[in-house]
Amino acid sequence: MALASLDESVFSNAHERDRARVYGLVATGLAQSRAEAGRLSGLRSTTVSRVVADLAARRLIVESVGETAGRGRPAGVLIANTRRIGGSVIHVVSQSLMGALVDLNGQIIAERGVAISPEADNEAMSRAMCGLAAELKEATPLGMAHAGTVVSLSGLLDLREKRWLMASRWPRMRNLDIQALLDRVAGPVEICRNLDAELRARVARDPGRFSGGTLLLHWGWGIGLAHAVDGEPLAPAGGPFGEIGHWRFSVLGERRCGCGNTACLETGAALWALLPVLRGHWPELDEDEADLGEQFSGRDLMRVPEIDAAARILARALANACRLLFPQRIIVSGPLVANARLWAHFDALFRAEGAMEGLAVPQLTSVRASQDHEIQGAAAPLLRRATEALLKGP
């Protein structure tokens, strides 16, 4: 399975585990024939034949008919049916909600989007999200089972209760019950933090590089972080996590934050606070993070004192987070790190913060925030569970 490996421990008997093992070999491209499936799984040919027939009956794989080279059954090619199950992902892009219907291979089958006014309240957000979820489910092709909807969000979340508590872009929206909203429209429903989803997908694509602890910091419209150990995002007890943007600093005085507090890190370093100042120098600056990355790359941001102040306070906050989580590596995304001079300055400030005696300062790497990673990382657990359910039973 391209999006997420199957967990054999969820299967109750040997035949279910055999199904999962053979399906996993075919879905990852390691086995393209019954003979290869038997050799790699260690199963007898009779067992492989029974399992392949079972998987074909469940429409999880397709076996092409090959030419006979001699006696016996013609050699066929085993191919995973990636369109057997699909899932919807709703996520935030700038001032819009976007939706994608993806298959088991992580390929986007359909996309939809709707702009959301900065003044949107719960009612407006609910109306837009329900419409998007319904459109995506309706786009499911004939023969594909719809596994449900995952809503990948920024801001403050309660993962256990499936509530969107607040978001910097929509300050009038509060405590939105995502499960109650979407369960009957395109359920079952899950929610996740966008940074967790992105980090999960990055690790899945290159697991050897991400052993141990990895921290993903996003420096954009808001500021947040995700932490994963051996690729598994940390979300203690399903509650909020990583809200570094709402750590409070006395140096920021009485600046008001959208969360209701004052002196939060975001009031001095997030784009929602910095953009009015930056537009004093460059009035044409956009609000979309992808466009801002392009615009920032060619400008002298370091001549703006507020940018230097933002980099200094964020570097200290990140260094303090390292004394809490002790990551081995740090990935930083967001439009501001697209500026080479600012990135070099931020990297130097972070290194100047140092580490505890005997520990190395983690290496910083800048990346572009990836919607594809977020979509695939959000969809992976949902599609894995749906596939495991289809592999169970007589």
Q: What is the pLDDT along the chain (394 residues), one digit of tens a residue?
A: 445 578 778 888 999 999 999 999 999 899 999 999 999 999 999 999 999 999 999 999 999 876 555 555 566 899 999 999 999 999 999 889 999 999 999 899 999 999 999 999 999 999 999 999 999 999 999 999 999 999 999 888 999 899 999 998 899 999 999 999 999 999 999 999 999 999 888 888 877 777 788 999 999 999 999 998 876 777 655 666 778 999 999 999 999 998 889 999 999 999 999 999 999 999 999 988 989 999 999 899 999 999 999 999 999 999 999 998 999 999 999 999 999 999 999 999 999 998 887 788 888 999 988 889 999 999 999 999 999 999 998 8
343 CB burial (10 A radius; 0-12, 13-18, 19+): middle
CB contact set of 11 (below 8 Å; sequence gap of 6+):
17, 19, 20, 388, 391, 392
- Name the strand (E) or helix (H) holding 102: strand 96-103
Architecture of domain 206-370: 2-Layer Sandwich (3.30)
Global pTM exceeds 0.85: yes
Q: Where in the chain is the domain with CATH 3.30.420.40?
A: 85-197+373-387, 206-370
Superfamily of domain 85-197+373-387: ATPase, nucleotide binding domain (3.30.420.40)
Rg (CA), the chain: 24
Q: What angle do CA 249, 319, 213 make, to 5 degrees?
A: 130
The CATH class for the domain spanning 8-81 reads mainly alpha
In this structure, are strands 189-193 and 145-153 parallel, antiparallel, or unpaired? parallel
